[in-house]
Structure 1
């Protein structure tokens, strides 16, 4: 094989994708989020991505380092019927080389060549049946309260090239409620038909994507402010309690009285309606 072909194969996320490794990493992420979060929750008033044979693009705000891991957790649970792929800054991907085997591909957004690679690679992925593209479309870490929401135009350009795609906005927040560990909160917005963007110029299409993501983020913020778990579906339960010696003492005390140790700050709150 020519050297150029070998180099291309080494960078091709479709060729590099390892399904068994991704499944194993998905189980690792379940443990990882259990260890670091009180819960991962999905807003009940949102719209979960529907199962469809059409190309699927899920685009989100970008509040934290956790976002790519959260994408992979979602791809291994609620969107497990599709192979998930997503772009990452090439410099950052260099620090997490395992991600190359998990559907992540590097891009350089500061150059025309990088923008062209994003477009070419994303189009090839979406042309494959049973795939989904996950994108942090703000392109940089941004607090979820910043308004107006600003997206890079690459998503709008991509959507116009895939008119049969379904595009789903996803809002993400990480916040503390009543436990020591934080909550990871999510809300999926109403799907957008890419066909609707064909009659718009790029600026108008990008404005529509920004508007729909902002609406999804505002809806999540309203639910997050309520601090009411009943407004969310629990995707994953994490750890409760203070931790360390204090929780060991409470477990031993409960065991001595033949009862279950209640480590949560507000036992029973999860089941209230």
Structure 2
């Protein structure tokens, strides 16, 4: 398939993706208390299946989080994703990360998105990451409304698996926020299914995943999550310097965490296999089931 303009397959640089992934580990370490994935785990999608990971869009951080999570959890797949063309002009380096520009408000832009999406997914060793709401939306807002492009893509890409991804940025007990993610149950869409019905199914899958993540986030319990990146605890500056001196003077071990023990998140490790909860009537319960 030939593209009129930029071809993300030729512009993406695996070397730069690797280097940028290491930079993002450091950057998220400095900006967040932790980047963590729910212990529900990562669904085991076979490597010979085409994969679209679609998420809510709560923050400016989301594209960078995609790149970080892809590097940590899906290194065997080359990842790509769309961004509004005028925004991509400001962050041109992202083209080298597999990001391609789209114009979601025009018919030509929608056609280009379908063409590039199909082009990327010709090889199942690639994954397409999409912020499916298309604009910044508070993660508590319901109903979850998706842009129709993802449903049109489902009609034109056979044998594709859709994987919901919920994202939330929460302040718990530290001065820096938590970046929390949770994957939902894989969803399969029958070829040529009605676009409106497809949007309802995908929206329900993402909404259920977001609700599950919100329940976990509200507990403020780090044991429910596995950290991908651990950040910095404490307030810093003069306040933490004084606390450190007091701990030293009293012979105690200094804990920078605001709440004692809150920094003791479980050590980073391999994400556990996925054990899905009972599926809702509109979700495919497993990859071996019928198309819904």
Q: Deviations over 1:67-126 (max 9, x none)?
A: 000000011111111111000000111110000110000000111110111010111101
Q: 1:68 aligns with which of 63, 70, 74?
A: 63
1:22-61 residue pairs with structure 2 within 5 A? 22-48=17-43, 50-61=45-56
> Contact 1:47–1:190 (CA<8 Å) still a contact in 2?
no
Q: Mark the CA change 1:58 to 1:49 in structure 2 (over 3 Å): closer, same or farther.
A: farther
Query: What is aligned with 1:266?
Result: 259
Q: Mark the CA change 1:127 to 1:199 in structure 2 (over 3 Å): closer, same or farther.
A: closer
Residue 232 (structure 1) shift: 1.1
Q: What is the TM-score with the length of structure 2 in the denominator?
A: 0.85
Rounded Cα–Cα distance in structure 2 between residues aligned with 1:43 and 1:72: 18
> Contact 2:156–2:192 (CA<8 Å) still a contact in 1?
no
Query: What is aligned with 1:16?
Result: 11
Residue 186 (structure 1) shift: 0.6
SS in 2 for 1:151: coil
Rounded Cα–Cα distance in structure 2 between residues aligned with 1:175 and 1:32: 17
Rounded Cα–Cα distance in structure 2 between residues aligned with 1:49 and 1:266: 36
Residue 23 (structure 1) shift: 0.4
> Contact 2:227–2:265 (CA<8 Å) still a contact in 1?
no
> Contact 2:49–2:160 (CA<8 Å) still a contact in 1?
yes
Q: Mark the CA change 1:29 to 1:271 in structure 2 (over 3 Å): closer, same or farther.
A: closer
> Contact 2:43–2:186 (CA<8 Å) still a contact in 1?
no
Query: What is aligned with 1:94?
Result: 89
Instruction: Give unpaired runs (5+ residues) of structure 2.
Output: 267-292
Residues 1:120 and 2:115 aligned together: yes
Q: What is the TM-score with the length of structure 1 in the denominator?
A: 0.90
Q: Deviations over 1:124-160 (max 9, x none)?
A: 1011241110000000000011111100111111112
Q: Mark the CA change 1:14 to 1:258 in structure 2 (over 3 Å): closer, same or farther.
A: farther
Query: What is aligned with 1:185?
Result: 180
Query: What is aligned with 2:157?
Result: 162
Residue 41 (structure 1) shift: 1.2
RMSD over aligned Cα, in angstroms? Answer: 2.0
SS in 2 for 1:88: strand
Q: Kindly indicate which of the two structures has a greater share of residues assigned to helix.
A: 1
Query: What is aligned with 1:214?
Result: 207
Q: Mark the CA change 1:226 to 1:236 in structure 2 (over 3 Å): closer, same or farther.
A: same
Q: Which moved more, 1:30-39 or 1:238-247?
A: 238-247
Rounded Cα–Cα distance in structure 1 between residues aligned with 2:242 and 2:159: 58
> Contact 2:51–2:124 (CA<8 Å) still a contact in 1?
no
1:226-245 residue pairs with structure 2 within 5 A? 226-245=219-238
Residue 45 (structure 1) shift: 2.6
Rounded Cα–Cα distance in structure 2 between residues aligned with 1:251 and 1:19: 43
Residue 204 (structure 1) shift: 0.5
